[in-house]
């Protein structure tokens, strides 16, 4: 479904992703794990068109999207739930959710809206409040629901647990598991490797802008190098 | 005394409406692009001149000249975005600042070349005066107030109730997140400049009908517009509406009770006092 080949990303002439190749099949949940600054988020941003690829190619359902603009990529079916939540702080919760469906023209948007608020009751409760007034965990739920409002063919999550209390992190991952069970294809970037590997079907381990290991999530979880470096065993 | 205050408040509402329209255009552009669009006043006056030209030399009825000028304003605004601001979109902010200053001089020069240096008044033929108790309301002032309210309400509905309007807000609040929602961030500035310039042209027509258009008026108006933004709270639509109304009424009352020569001084003194108490502006959020 999504295929990245030899992707390179540079910021101001300094290359931070040095030729990364990865694939995500329809219905799969794939995690990118690794330390801070390993190039995971930059890879996601390049897929979404937020930063330009300086080399390599990205294709989605057979179409080359390497040079496509951000809004065209969303219309193709790729949605990202960004790092740091990035809600629209002065817009209401419901306005944020409606922005998620910006590219849609079908008549089922209102039905999806109430489905999202069934899934996240706190969003129904706070629907007319400014999104910036929500707690970090509530904003994360809003960002996830907003991303799903686009009815994406694949949903990218960038560090959904970052900056949240452990209890909230657990509930974020429960939510991701429910989304996975709904059949949404997921590409997840996460520093919390244990949580990510528990959720994902497959994973890629990033180190200094390269993929150093890939395989089934269960296999990576039990690999001695991964256990020592990332799982704290 | 009370009658006089009410009278000056009505007068102030008309000029306040002009300030609100100018300020709403400035705040939308500032919110989206972070640009202090100084040329806004001069372009607004171009719209006023154009209406005058169509209504006099071309013999069009004023009511037909106004929509033509508004459409011209939308197109002109889009042209300004493409030719002047888009090339410096990703450059240092000082570049857009210099472009804005240069554009102001250019448009002032074009106005002078095309329409001359004589002051002009748009002939509306509206000379009836309504009397309510001891208050007199010239019908022109009343129509200006109503038109300003209609335009402000229309803009609020557009921004709050349409997908494009919501996209404008989204880009102003978080540009990258707006891209992730699928908003084309190249077309949004075009729409914003079209809308803002149309509001500005409406204000220019009002100035031309109520008072007169002359070289330099537009620059004065843009300074007032920015004063309103700061008074109301930067980036706040309700703040721009409240700020413009307050400034208009303050000026009017100051002119009526003290001296019209000092109305600008008094208006700015009130603004400074407000900012001493509320540095974030009337409806701005504390940093």
The CA distance from A61 to A80, in Å, is 17
Q: Kindly tell me if the per-residue pLDDT of B204 is higher than 90.
A: yes
DSSP for A191-225 reads S-HHHHHHH-SEEEEEETTEEEEEEEHHHHHT-HH
pLDDT < 50 positions in chain A: none
The CA distance from B73 to B66, in Å, is 10
- Confidence band for B282, pLDDT divided at 50, 70 and 90: confident
pLDDT reported for residue B69: 97
The CA distance from B103 to B106, in Å, is 5
Give the 3-state secondary structure percentages of chain A, helix then strand then coil, rounded to 5: 40, 25, 35
Give the strand pairing for B129-132 and A63-64.
unpaired
Q: Does residue B61 belong to any structural domain of this protein?
A: yes
Q: Indicate the residue of B166, B176, B184 with minimum beta-carbon distance to A99.
A: B166
Domain coordinates in residue numbering, chain A: 2-90+152-230
Q: Does residue B269 belong to any structural domain of this protein?
A: yes
Q: Tally the domains of chain B.
A: 1
Tell me the backbone φ, ψ of residue B92, rounded to 5 degrees: -55, 145
pLDDT digits (tens, 9 = 90+) for B121-150: 999 988 899 988 888 999 999 999 999 999
* CA B197 to the chain's CA centroid: 8
Cβ(B2)–Cβ(B243) below 8 Å: no
Task: Order the strands of the A55-60 sheet from edge to edge.
Answer: A14-24, A2-11, A55-60, A63-64
pLDDT reported for residue A155: 97
Name the residue among B249, B245, B251, B219 with its Cα closest to residue B232. Answer: B245
Q: Indicate the residue of B173, B179, B180 with minimum beta-carbon distance to A91.
A: B173
pLDDT reported for residue B121: 95
> Tokens at residue B234, please?
């930067």
Cβ(B234)–Cβ(B29) below 8 Å: no
Inter-chain residue contact A99 with B181, CB threshold 8 Å: yes
Q: Which helix (H) or strand (E) holds B135?
A: strand B135-138
Q: What is the pTM of this model?
A: 0.90
- Identify the residue with better confidence: B275 or B42: B42
The CA distance from B232 to B238, in Å, is 8
What is the domain range of residue B7? 2-277
Q: Where are the alpha helices (DSSP H) in chain A?
A: 40-48, 70-76, 93-100, 109-119, 121-125, 136-148, 166-181, 193-199, 217-221, 224-230
pLDDT digits (tens, 9 = 90+) for B148-183: 999 999 999 999 999 999 999 999 999 999 999 999
CATH class of the domain defined by A2-90+152-230: alpha beta
Q: Kindly tell me if the per-residue pLDDT of B287 is higher than 70.
A: no
Cβ(B19)–Cβ(B248) below 8 Å: yes
pLDDT reported for residue A232: 65
Most A CBs within 10 A among B167, B174, B181, B186, hence the mutation to make, goes to B181
pLDDT reported for residue B286: 64
pLDDT digits (tens, 9 = 90+) for A93-138: 999 999 999 999 999 999 999 999 999 999 999 999 999 999 999 9
pLDDT reported for residue B17: 96
**Dmax (CA) of chain B:** 58
Rounded mean pLDDT, B278-285: 84
State the complex-level ipTM. 0.92
B-chain CB neighbours of A91 within 8 Å are 166, 169-170, 173
DSSP for B157-171 reads HHHHHSHHHHHHHHH
Inter-chain residue contact A71 with B169, CB threshold 8 Å: no
Inter-chain residue contact B177 with A50, CB threshold 8 Å: no
* CA A77 to the chain's CA centroid: 13
Q: Does residue B23 belong to any structural domain of this protein?
A: yes
pLDDT reported for residue A225: 81
A-chain CB neighbours of B180 within 8 Å are 48, 50, 70, 74, 79-80, 82, 86, 147
CA distances to A8, A65, B122, B190, B203 from B38, rounded to whole Å, are: 42, 39, 24, 17, 15
Q: Does residue B193 belong to any structural domain of this protein?
A: yes
**CATH code at B63?**
1.10.3470
* CA B156 to the chain's CA centroid: 15
CA distances to A146, A199, B214, B222, B229 from B12, rounded to whole Å, are: 44, 64, 21, 18, 18
Q: Kindly tell me if the per-residue pLDDT of B264 is higher than 70.
A: yes
Q: In this structure, how many other beta carbons lie within 10 angstroms of the beta carbon of residue A106?
A: 9
């Amino acid at each position: 479904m999504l295929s990245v080949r030899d992707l390179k990303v540079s910021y101001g002439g300094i290359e931070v992703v040095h030729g990364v190749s990865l694939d995500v099949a329809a219905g799969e949940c794939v995690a990118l794990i690794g330390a801070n600054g390993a190039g995971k988020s930059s890879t996601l941003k390049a897929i979404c068109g937020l930063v330009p690829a300086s080399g390599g190619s990205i294709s989605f359902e057979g179409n080359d999207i390497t040079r496509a603009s951000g809004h065209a990529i969303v219309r193709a079916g790729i949605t990202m739930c960004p790092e740091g939540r990035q809600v629209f702080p002065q817009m209401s919760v419901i306005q944020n959710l409606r922005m998620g469906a910006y590219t849609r023209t079908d008549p089922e948007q209102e039905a999806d809206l109430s489905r999202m608020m069934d899934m996240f009751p706190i969003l129904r409760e706070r629907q007319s409040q400014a999104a910036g007034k929500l707690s970090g965990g509530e904003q994360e739920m809003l960002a996830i629901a907003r991303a799903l409002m686009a009815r994406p063919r694949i949903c990218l999550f960038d560090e959904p647990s970052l900056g949240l209390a452990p209890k909230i992190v657990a509930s974020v991952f429960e939510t991701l598991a429910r989304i996975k069970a709904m059949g949404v294809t997921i590409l997840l970037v996460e520093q919390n490797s244990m949580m990510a590997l528990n959720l994902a079907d497959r994973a890629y381990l990033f180190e200094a802008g390269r993929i150093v290991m890939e395989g089934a999530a269960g296999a990576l979880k039990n690999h001695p190098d991964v256990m020592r470096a990332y799982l704290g065993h | 005394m009370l009658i006089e205050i009410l009278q000056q408040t009505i007068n102030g509402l008309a000029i306040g409406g002009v300030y609100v329209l100018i300020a709403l255009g400035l705040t939308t552009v500032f919110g989206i692009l972070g640009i202090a669009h100084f040329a806004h006043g001069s372009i607004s006056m171009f719209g006023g001149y154009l209406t005058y030209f169509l209504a006099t030399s071309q013999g069009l009825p004023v009511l037909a000249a106004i929509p033509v000028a508004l459409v011209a304003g939308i197109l002109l605004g889009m042209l300004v975005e493409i030719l002047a601001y888009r090339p410096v979109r990703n450059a240092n902010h000082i570049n857009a600042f210099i472009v804005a200053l240069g554009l102001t001089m250019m448009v002032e020069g074009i106005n002078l070349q095309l329409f001359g240096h004589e002051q002009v008044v748009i002939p509306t033929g509206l000379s009836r005066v309504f009397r309510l108790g001891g208050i007199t309301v010239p019908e022109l002032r009343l129509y200006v107030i109503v038109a300003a309210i209609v335009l402000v309400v229309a803009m609020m509905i557009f921004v709050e109730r349409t997908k494009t309007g919501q996209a404008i807000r989204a880009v102003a609040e978080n540009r990258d997140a707006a891209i992730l929602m699928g908003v084309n961030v190249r077309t949004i500035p075009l729409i914003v400049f079209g809308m803002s310039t149309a509001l500005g042209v409406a204000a220019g027509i009002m100035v031309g009908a109520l008072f007169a258009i002359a070289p330099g008026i537009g620059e004065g108006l843009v300074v007032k517009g920015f004063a309103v933004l700061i008074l109301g709270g930067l980036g706040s639509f309700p703040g721009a509406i409240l700020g413009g109304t307050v400034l208009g009424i303050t000026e009017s009352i100051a002119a009526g009770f003290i001296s019209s020569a000092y109305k600008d001084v008094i208006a700015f003194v009130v603004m400074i006092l407000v900012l001493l108490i509320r540095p974030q502006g009337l409806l701005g959020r504390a940093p």
